Amino acid sequence: MKPIKLSEKNKDFFKDTYAVARLIPKGRVTSYGAIARYLGMARSARMVGWAMNGCPADVPAHRVVNRIGMLSGKVHFPTPTLMQERLEAEGIEVRDDQVQNLKTVYWDPSNELSL
DNA sequence: GGTCTGACTAAAT
DNA sequence: GATTTAGCCAGAC
């Protein structure tokens, strides 16, 4: 396992967030809240987004959207269009910064991993 | 060391 | 049913 060191601090929460984000299958998306709940901090969805602030290349942050499937975090990418292009490249339909067929491509970690 | 903001979510109005 | 407010925790000023 490759330890992610954003800093020399604890970043334990960040590490878990990245771990789950990496587990998102190709062509699927999940929400910050879903990851947060899986990590045990259901009400800290914001922290997930914050954790993504480090956004290492190993983490497919483009597969993480808010609960309505909106590409809320696209502005944090190197280029605002990168997120949508990557999602489309994986077969996810994106229209007006929103993931189409969200119900179909949605991937819930606590539903897929905690079986 | 107190205050504000933030890639969100859910409940209340 | 849509809009607004409050709650969350952690980092930045």
pLDDT at A11: 64
Res A10 pLDDT > 70: no
The gap between A10 CA and C13 C1' (Å) is 22
Work out the pLDDT band at A9, boundaries 50, 70, 90. Answer: very low
The string of pLDDT tens digits covering residues A30-82 is 999 999 999 888 788 898 998 898 888 889 999 999 999 999 999 999 899 99
A66 touches strand C (CB under 7 A): no
Output the pTM of the full model: 0.86
Q: How far is Cα A84 from Cα A115, in angstroms, rounded to an integer? A: 30
pLDDT at A93: 94
In chain A, residues 73 through 102 whose Cβ sits under 7 angstroms from any atom of nucleic acid strand C: none
Res A4 pLDDT > 50: no
Core vs surface per residue A52-77: b (16+ CB within 10 A) or e: bebbeeebbbbbbbbeebbbbbbeeb
Closest by alpha carbon to A92, among A78, A80, A107?
A107
In chain A, residues 62 through 101 whose Cβ sits under 7 angstroms from any atom of nucleic acid strand B: 64, 66-68, 72-73, 75-77
The gap between A43 CA and B10 C1' (Å) is 9
pLDDT at A91: 95
pLDDT at A16: 86
Query: Which SS3 state, helix, strand or coil, does residue A81 take?
Result: helix
Q: How far is Cα A51 from Cα A8, in angstroms, rounded to an integer? A: 15
- What's the one-letter identity of residue A66? N
Mean pLDDT calculated for residue range A98-106: 92
pLDDT at A21: 92
Closest by alpha carbon to A20, among A92, A113, A115?
A113
Q: How far is Cα A49 from Cα A35, in angstroms, rounded to an integer? A: 10
A61 touches strand B (CB under 7 A): yes
